[in-house]
Each structure stands twice: as structure tokens, then as C-alpha cells.
Amino acid sequence: MARTTMEDVAKRAGVSRALVSLAYRNLPGVSEATRERILAVGRELRYSPNRVAARLASSSGDTIGVFLQDLHNDLYADVFDGVREVADREGIPLVLTVGELGGNRDRSALETLKQSRVDVAIAIGLLMSDAEASEVAKDLPLVVVTRKIDGIDSVYSDDLESGRLATEYLIRMGHRRIAFLANPPDDGYRGRRDGYFAVMERAGLPPRVVQSEWSREAAARDIGEVLDSVERPTGIFAHNDQAALGVLDALAARGLRAGVDVSVIGHDNTAGSRLPGAALTTVDLHGFELGRRAAELALSRIAEPARHAEDSPSRPTLIKRETTASYVQPITGSPEASLNRG
Amino acid sequence: MARTTMEDVAKRAGVSRALVSLAYRNLPGVSEATRERILAVGRELRYSPNRVAARLASSSGDTIGVFLQDLHNDLYADVFDGVREVADREGIPLVLTVGELGGNRDRSALETLKQSRVDVAIAIGLLMSDAEASEVAKDLPLVVVTRKIDGIDSVYSDDLESGRLATEYLIRMGHRRIAFLANPPDDGYRGRRDGYFAVMERAGLPPRVVQSEWSREAAARDIGEVLDSVERPTGIFAHNDQAALGVLDALAARGLRAGVDVSVIGHDNTAGSRLPGAALTTVDLHGFELGRRAAELALSRIAEPARHAEDSPSRPTLIKRETTASYVQPITGSPEASLNRG
DNA sequence: TTGTATGCGTTATCAT
DNA sequence: ATGATAACGCATACAA
């Protein structure tokens, strides 16, 4: 099965291996006639070039590795699409590797990429610490996406701005009790929180952070406790859409209406957020575009391995949908009312 | 950068390459002392084994290729998780390849897998024709998932049963005008439609098929026309969740309420369908489990390359949520009323 | 245009 | 337990 080698084809076609190699790669140096003949023989013998051997022999591998943190997160799929668009354009093969929700697989997945001798790896949604990433980057040129790490090519959306956009919007809508549903406190991924804090402080409002994990279920559970408290927030900014959907779950479970009883903002503008039922207000970080820029950086890294690390930041956009609404002050002396007096 | 080879380590440790190889693979034949020393030297030299070279040299590659039709479809992510669970257990590396919504990439993606010399490929959501797949399978052992092809290992859920489950449920809920929103008429993927037809015929109801494409947007567009017609269906069975969500879009755009004005059933029980807003009634085909079975078949194919192709069918499950409800007969002489007289 | 020789970094066989 | 050496299938610099 796929046992025939270049040698076989060469012999059968009465030429040397070198010619077969050139013929299959559409390189100059072969007359059109012999190329035809070689390919014909190849088909006849069901020859299939061995990429493994090719990559080992070739000095100029030119391969890009891609690490995807989670196949269930649509944002990453968007980013991947962007990466692939430019990889296709350049005719560069992609080698994929997939992580796992908590980030426990980051290390081994990147290790696999390194051992596969990709020239550079695009890491989408990496969770390992900055220090660990820098360590990896010593042996494997990295381009991190949705994140910024000093000394490493970084493609990201301005998370501080995201935090500001979301929080300011809620405040403008009249909300005062605004909670931030936070991701686990790993390195990186602090911008949204910082933006939230900055705006809350400037507005003289008390921040309220709800720690959670990397899953919709955890988000529903953790925000649930807060929803059951007396001082229930009227606005919630979740660190990403998955978490925001968890908030919607928690609201639904309590008979509360998103966009009516509580306003919710997510982050990423993922496919799920666009759902007619969800209609989640969210912050778009333009995943496809991030992917394209990451691939461009990867290419430039291949072309110039020793160049300085580059940053490629961009601005997020607020997408207003139906889970946010103006805060309407309750009629009686409820906790909400007293808050507004303060 | 990752330039040091086994040779370097061997030299530095004062042993032969062979020993280094054995040491790194935890194979017997190396004394514990020298193994330690070798690994120590390896770390010191930042040595990273070259998988490419290893796979070329190794006779027993034992690698599984995985083709994913679409990164945006959560079902495939579930299947992948299942595949990976058993691959991890067996310590077998996975090589990934990603397709494209219409299926235009099926061919080249499988070709890549073949050229990468994987021992067997698990094809998730393949769209190419049975004939084409059989052709590919001549050179690359295949395990197709969510599909059944004669002569090829097939892991699938009984789609005929899915079609029956969904259609019968709608009929039991009192619906009479039930439409099927169909996927493109490729080879394979006919079961749901056939099940729909069978049940409709048995019930003496006129079937109504709405042809569509592989995307949510197309589904919204195509079902939209039907919704605007006079003989609007009261129940809609969509070939998968993506399409069903498109139906929800179309309903929302017309001010119609899913589960009230029109009942909708999807297929796959994908994460999106569980959304609180969507709350889509759907058919679960247990993706994770499909993935595990596919991986098992792949393993058995590696162990016994010449064995006969095997089928691994399973039964789908109806998941009742909120987009379906009993059909309530309109009061006046509307089209609905006249239908029920007939 | 075509052919030859050498190397790529391993694994695996066969000695020692 | 350890070492020398032949594959593995191809790319490539060089010679013809």
C-alpha cells in the first residue's frame, strides 16, 4: 500500500530519481515530454510522494505549525480560517495540534510541533505562563494569538479596550452594579479585567469580580451564586462568549430574562453569540483577521528567523444585540433604588 | 535552533547513537545509569528528537490521521474528543487535516494524510462520493464517521431512525404540514430524508422537501421562501443543527416564534442547540462515542490491515427541548383548518 | 536536459 | 549492555 517509491517510478520511466523529483514538484529542468511520461508512469504505479522523506531531505522545509487550544471554541476556528487563507496563498503546509480546555496540553502539543520540525508555530489561545512560553520559544519560533508576550510575536486585540468598551456601555445604559465574570487568573488574559476595573473606578463604582473557570458550565455555576445574592448585579460582563452563554443559562434557570432583568455582555462575537435566541451583546475581536496577521508574521519569521519580535495589536468592536438594555430603576425602595440614591 | 542531533548527544555522552535512541524511547537494552546520563546530556544540549526522521526510519509508524470536515461544527469536535481519548490511551500520535464547508477540500486533505504516511485515516464528515472514497481507500485505509460506505469501515448513527424519530415526534404532536430541510444531495447522508419520507408516507401525509446548502445562512434563506408561502409548514425537520439554527433565524426575522408558531427539530445535539435561547429540539447521535468507536476500528485496522471492513452503527436519541410544541388548530377557516378536514 | 553522489536524522539489524 | 552500519525515501549540488 503506497509502497512504490520514486526509484520505482524512475526505473519504470527509464529516467533518474532526480528527474522524477523535479517532475512531481513542477520544477524547471525537465522537458515537458518527459514530465508527462513520468507522471503517467506514476499514476500507473499509484505512486504517492512521501512527505516524510521529502521533509527530512529538504533543507527548506517551510512548514507552519498551528496550535489550537480548543476545537469547541468557535473563535479559534475563525482564527484558523484566517491562518489558512494566507498559508494557502503561499502554498505552505500547515501542521495541526490540538489542546485541551484547561491548558494542560499546551506544553505537549507545542513539543509535538517542535519535534515535527515546523519552522514556526502559531499558538492560538495558549494558556501557559509567559515564562513558560518564552522557554518554548527558545527552540521553536512562536506567534501567539489573542495574547501579548514580550519578546514573542504577538497578534491580539486590545483587551484593555475591550474591558472599557463593555463596561462603559453598561454604565451608559444606566447600570451601576456591574460584575465581571473572570477567567482563571493565568498569566496573560488580564486586559479585560483591567479595563473593567479602570472604568469602574473612574465612575466611582465598586468593582465586583466573580472568579470562574474555562467553561460554560463553570460560568453558569459561579455566576449563579451571585445571582442568588441580595445585591444582585444588573449588568454582567463575561470574559468570553462561552462564559456569557453560561450566564444566560444561569439566568434562564432562575426565570430571569437577559436584556430585561439583567444585562449581559460577552466577548469574541462567536457564532453562538449570534444565535437568534442568544442574541448576545458582545465584543468582536475579529478572529479571522487575527489569523491572517498571525500567518503573515509566521511567514516573515521564516523569511527572517532572527528578526525582532513584533506586535500586531488591533481594536475590538462592540456588537450591540439583545442581552443588554437600559437599566430601569425599580419603583419601590428595593436595593436597586437605594443604590441609585448613593 | 533545534539543530542538535542524536549524533551530538551520543558523542557528548560517549556512547553510540543506537543507545541514545533506545534511551529516549524507554526501550530495554540500556543500563539505568547510562540512560540517565544520556538524558542529562540531551537536556544540556537542548536536544529534541526529530519525529520526521524517526517516522521515516521506523517501519512501525503507527500513526492515525484525522480528517475534520469543518472546525465550526461542534459535532466534529465531539467526535475528535472521542478519537483522542483512545489514541491517548494507546499512545498513538494523531495527524490532523481540516476540510472546508462544501467538501471541496476532502480530496486534498486526504491526499495530505496519505502522503504523510499515516497508517489509517479517520474521516469525520466526509462529503465526497462513495465511489471517490472507495478510490481513496485503495491506498489509504479509511474509517468514515457519520456515514456508511460499503467496503469501508463505517461508524455512524442510524440516520433512517433519526428521520423517523423526528418526523414521528412532530406527527405525534399533531403536526400535519411537516417540511424537511435537506442537505445538498450528495452521496451518503440520505438516511434522514428517507426516514422522513417513510414516516410521512405511512401517515398519509404529503412530504415537502426544501433543498438547501451546508450553512446556516443558506438554510435561513431557503426555508425563508417556504415560510413566506401560503401553505406554511407547522413543523420543520432540519438535516442538522446548523440548518435548524438557520430556521430559527428565518423565523425570528419574520416575527414567528419557534415552538409556538412553528415547531423545529434539528440534528446532532450540538453545543449551539443547547443554548438557552435556542433550546432546540434535536436528535443526538452521540458524537463522542462515535469518535471512540472510530478510533477502535482504526486501531484494529493497524493491527490487522487486511481484515474485512466493519460497520459500527448505533441508535440516535431524540432530545426534546423548547422549539417543538403541540400543534394547535387555528380557530377560523385558515389553510391550517382546511388541511385538517382533508 | 539528464544523471550521479551525498546527506537528512533516525530506526533496526547484527555484531561484539 | 554497547557499537557499527545498513536502510528509510527523498532533495540537491554537481557533473555530464
Nearest to A139 by CA among A158, A123, A115, A163: A115
Quickly count: other Cβ atoms within 10 Å of residue B108's Cβ: 12
* A173-200 confidence digits (pLDDT tens): 999 999 999 999 876 789 999 999 999 9
- Whether residue A117 and residue B77 make contact (CB cut-off 8 A), yes or no, is no
Choose the closest CB to B279 out of A116, A277, A279. A277
Question: Is the pLDDT at B339 greater than 50, yes or no?
Answer: no
> What pLDDT is recorded for position B237?
98
Q: Which three cell numbers stand for residue B88?
A: 491517548
> What pLDDT is recorded for position A101?
87
Amino acid at B49: P
pLDDT band at B338 (very low <50, low <70, confident <90, very high): very low
Partner residues linked to B143 by β-bridges: B122, B153
- Whether residue A116 and residue B52 make contact (CB cut-off 8 A), yes or no, is yes
Residues in B closer than 8 angstroms to A51, CB to CB, are 112, 115-117
Q: Which residue of A has its CA nearest to B120?
A: A1
Q: Are B180 and B209 in contact (CB under 8 A)?
A: yes
Q: How far apart are CA B166 and CA B319, in angstroms?
A: 10
pLDDT band at A337 (very low <50, low <70, confident <90, very high): very low
Q: Which residue has the higher pLDDT, A188 or A21?
A: A21
Q: Are A317 and A302 in contact (CB under 8 A)?
A: no
B91 in contact with A, Cβ within 8 Å: no
* B98-138 confidence digits (pLDDT tens): 999 889 999 999 999 999 999 999 999 999 999 999 999 99
Q: How far apart are CA B294 and CA B300, in angstroms?
A: 10
Mean local confidence (pLDDT), B250-257: 90
Burial class for B215, CB neighbours closer than 10 Å (0-12, 13-18, 19+):
middle
User: Phi and psi of B176, rounded to 5°?
Assistant: -125, -40
Q: If you search the block for the grid coordinates 432540519, which residue do you land on?
A: B238
Q: Which residues neighbour A42 within 8 Å (Cβ) at sequence distance 6 or greater? A: A9, A20, A24
Choose the closest CB to A71 out of B80, B245, B272. B80
A111 CA vs D9 C1’ separation (Å): 25
- Whether residue B251 and residue A80 make contact (CB cut-off 8 A), yes or no, is no
H-run or E-run covering B143: strand B142-145
Mean local confidence (pLDDT), A80-106: 95
* B211-247 confidence digits (pLDDT tens): 999 888 899 999 999 999 988 999 999 999 989 999 9
Q: How far apart are CA A217 and CA A215, in angstroms?
A: 5
Mean local confidence (pLDDT), B320-341: 65
> What pLDDT is recorded for position B29?
85
